[in-house]
Chain A
């Protein structure tokens, strides 16, 4: 008799599964009822989250429309996975989505997001940094609009550099000299030189790309072939490894991400840090040991490069290709990326706008004096390779670059192996 309940459970399971699956498909709008737009985005950090206020303003401008905002998981990998599964699966339960800038070409190629070309006038596009807009344009069509922007930059300790009479370094050999001189002068074994992110992850990839650009090398040429300037690329990789071997950077940068490097610098235990603008607000908190002692500069260059360039990052907003409310969803994207909304984002969150005009805005500059300095950095920023298979490329190359940074492979060998793998990848995609 003990078997009967067990069988009931087994018989019930498919029904239960069906209910779960049906329940997961999201709501269907009924005609005549008020329209609900679903906006999927990561939680916005900062003193005051401006998003709810912006959405209420949008609702006030569009009577009968409700916008529900749904939070994405924190990690970028999981966000990408969430989108891929929902968008490939058929009817995604959202209309407007926040995308990492590196995903836009991929999503456009996959047909997951709506072509915005006809909806957005040229003047509205031109109001954004070219390097922010460029990744959103594929084959002459516009697929997303920039929401906020990031750029890789060099943090330095103004007090230490001033003490030894140094200006922020324009070239890396200068940076190395300054580190040696300051550390010798300070005699503090706990003071590190130059911190950056060398862990095997997307951030590590960004650091390597910046080193390539600093030496006038690229990862892909215009036709998409890897390492068009192999000699310069080898020098860049050898330089990064050399930073560790010579002790200018501590060995642990090979396992470091943004936060693991931001903290020691914020505690006053490093002279230079490669980071993103968000850290500036944290360095200037009242309790910060480095408050008022941090300057920002462009990333330095290597011998064969003309200027150093920081990688751009940030988020774009796009519309699901299967939304039932195209016009409204596009309106929401244009509203959230507008001058007024980006102003609110800059005031409330620790984020920087993708519109150059806001960096010269007197009211904003009064609140955030770093904006004019960041303007130059943003203008020098350079997007990562704009290709639909960027993520494949990046995950394929990360272990090779990591192997150089930890001294397991020579730069020559890593570039040879990386080229072979990228070629294999390209054959699978375009045989």
Chain B
């Protein structure tokens, strides 16, 4: 057996498992998305691209796509900015660093449904802590279409900033102090030290964090499902919530699969874009 054949033999189990667990279901979903499949009504017939044609003019789909985009861009930007800030602050902190880390982890460790329920009561218009702290105003956080999405973004930022902070903090710890000492000798302090030393070294890890967070945010589901159910007026309905409603709640398997395929394509597109950026980063570094 040649080395080449042997290597395929060694790869085979991994490829089989990946194929069975990832490629096969993905192709099956693609196949379903080309059909009308509603088991309850014994409907199973060919639809071709009709689901996709309907999605192209479906206002609910475009609304969900817009909500997903806004949620992803704003929440990921805030999480990365805040996370990096927290990491820098942690590094500068002299005492109680372990306690701060443990507290940070707490938010990240809570199951998201628990986080969502907690925020439901925080946002309660008459009894909630948020309005109490704002001087007892009755702001209708989750019931006002203009405020519901920002309120959800805040909850998501609260929950995932620690994840960003921890990864950035880990990277900061590995930056040798000599670099800063050398910088200081050359007259780089404060902002300059950050821009010339810290930032270039943190950027690669930040890109990886961005990749993770963006892919997660594009598939955001639990917060909106628990807190608003996608409302009011669909103002917090993301693509995955829409897909869930079609797939599991109303059992329109074919149509739901079509939404799933679109989400999948979107996620792949974004992932490929990020991977290119990361590759370029590692080549220039």
Contacts and interface: CB of A to CB of B under 8 A. Distances in A.
Given A406-B144, A428-B38, A252 B234 contact: no
A217 B199 CA distance: 64
Interface in B113-160: 124-127, 138, 140-145, 148
B54 interface: yes
B226 to A, nearest CB: 9
Contacts of A255: 125, 140-143, 148, 228, 231-232
B229 interface: yes
A189 to B, nearest CB: 10
B230 interface: yes
Nearest to A111: B42
A409 B63 CA distance: 14
B79 interface: no
Contact of A200 (B14, B20, B230): B230
Interface residues of B, number: 44
A77 interface: yes
A256 interface: yes
Interface stretch (B185-193, B207-215, B243-251): B243-251
Majority SS of interface residues in chain A?
helix
B138 A250 contact: yes
A189 B248 CA distance: 43
A395 B245 contact: yes
Given A84-B251, A406-B143, A13 B233 contact: no
Interface stretch (A41-49, A115-123, A164-172, A396-404): A396-404
16 contacts: A11-B13, A14-B17, A84-B248, A110-B39, A199-B232, A200-B231, A200-B233, A201-B229, A251-B125, A252-B140, A253-B143, A388-B41, A391-B250, A392-B250, A402-B232, A408-B145
Given A10-B17, A254-B140, 14 more contacts: A7-B14, A84-B248, A110-B42, A250-B126, A254-B143, A254-B232, A255-B143, A388-B41, A391-B250, A395-B245, A399-B233, A403-B145, A405-B232, A406-B143
Per CB-CB distance, the 9 closest pairs between chain A and chain B, nearest first, are: A200-B231, A255-B143, A403-B233, A252-B125, A254-B143, A399-B234, A255-B142, A392-B250, A110-B40
Interface of B: 10, 13-14, 16-17, 20, 36, 38-43, 54, 59-60, 124-127, 138, 140-145, 148, 228-235, 237, 245, 248-252, 255
